[in-house]
Structure formats: C-alpha cells, structure tokens
C-alpha cells in the first residue's frame, strides 16, 4: 500500500473540521509607544471565509484563515491576524468589515475584544528554565577558559 487515495469520476470529498462549538474571540495587542496594533481572531467557525488582503492603500493587512495547533492543550483552533500602524485602527472594524459570513447564524462577536493578554504559566516556566541553563552554560564555559589560561600560565 502506497498511501495514495484514488477517486473515481464524480467523487466529492467533504472535510469537516474538528472544531466544535466555536466561541470567537478577538485579542488586541497595542504598542503604546508606536501605536501599532495587532489583532488575533480565534476560535471562529470553519465556514467563515477570509483571504489575505491589503486594504485602504496598504494601511491595514488582514491574513487568511490559519489553523492554530495548540500542542500544550492538544487542540486546534482557527485563527486570523490583522495589523496596522494607524493610530485609529481597531480590531472590531478590521474583522467585521473583512470577514464574509455565509449566514447570519455565524457572528463575528468583536464585542469580545480582550484588551489584556495573559501568558501561559508553563511557557513562562520553560523560558525561565532556558535562561537559567544558558547562564549555567556560560559560567561553566567561563570557568573552563579561566582554568585553561591559569594552567598555561604555569
């Protein structure tokens, strides 16, 4: 068996997403110094169609649909990004104008814009562990160089 799929004439293939009960949420990240804004639209239904596009003379970019694979939680989610360097850019306007919905039953509930973003405690612990190991490696390398130079000086 070669793992090939062979379809006859007139065969239709339907792919159903494994995302159950989508609960769309928009996360907004804003740089206070430069005014740049990035919006992440997650957990929306697979039937929402979005294509990558530049709008308003390239002042705003909205990415196409992407499947986010969250291995730490063993789940997948749909996601899309929008960003702009305009100071009056809002996530609500980006996603309500640019997402086309096949029916009115699938809302883009941009009222759920999260203005704060909490990091994952496991990710923070892993980052701290990596920094600790790097410091330990630098200490060991420095000690080895110091001892080698001391041995050569004798």
From first to last of its 154 residues, the chain has per-residue pLDDT tens of 566 777 778 777 776 666 565 667 777 777 767 767 777 777 766 655 554 454 554 577 777 777 767 676 667 777 778 877 776 777 766 665 444 433 334 344 444 444 555 666 777 888 999 999 999 999 999 999 999 999 998 7
Tell me what pLDDT residue 96 has.
57
Q: Spell 117-139 as b/e; 16+ CB within 10 A means b.
A: eeeeeeeeeeeeeeeeeeeeeee
Return the pLDDT at 6. 75
User: Which CATH number, 3.30.565.10, 2.60.40.10, 3.30.465.10, 1.20.120.720, labels domain 25-118?
Assistant: 2.60.40.10
Q: Please state the domain extents for the chain.
A: 25-118, 121-154
The predicted pLDDT at position 147 comes to 95
Q: Is the pTM of this model over 0.85?
A: no
What are the DSSP calls for 72-138, one per residue? Answer: TTTEEEEEEEEEE--TT--HHHHHHHH-B-SSTTS---GGGEESS-PPPHHHHHHHHHHHHHHHHHH
């Amino acid at each position: 068996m070669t793992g090939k799929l062979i379809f006859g004439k007139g065969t239709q293939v339907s792919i159903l997403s494994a995302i159950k009960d989508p609960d769309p949420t928009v996360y907004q990240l804003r740089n206070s110094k430069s005014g740049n804004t990035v919006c992440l639209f997650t957990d929306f239904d697979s039937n929402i169609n979005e294509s990558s596009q530049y709008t308003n003379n390239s002042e705003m970019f909205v990415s196409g649909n992407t499947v986010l694979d969250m291995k730490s939680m063993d789940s997948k989610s749909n996601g899309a990004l929008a960003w702009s360097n305009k100071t009056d850019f809002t996530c609500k306007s980006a996603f309500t104008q640019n997402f086309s919905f096949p029916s009115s039953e699938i809302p883009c509930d941009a009222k759920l814009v999260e203005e704060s973003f909490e990091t994952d405690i496991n990710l923070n612990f892993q980052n701290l562990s990596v920094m600790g190991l790097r410091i330990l490696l630098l200490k060991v390398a420095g000690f080895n160089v110091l001892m080698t130079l001391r041995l050569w000086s004798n």
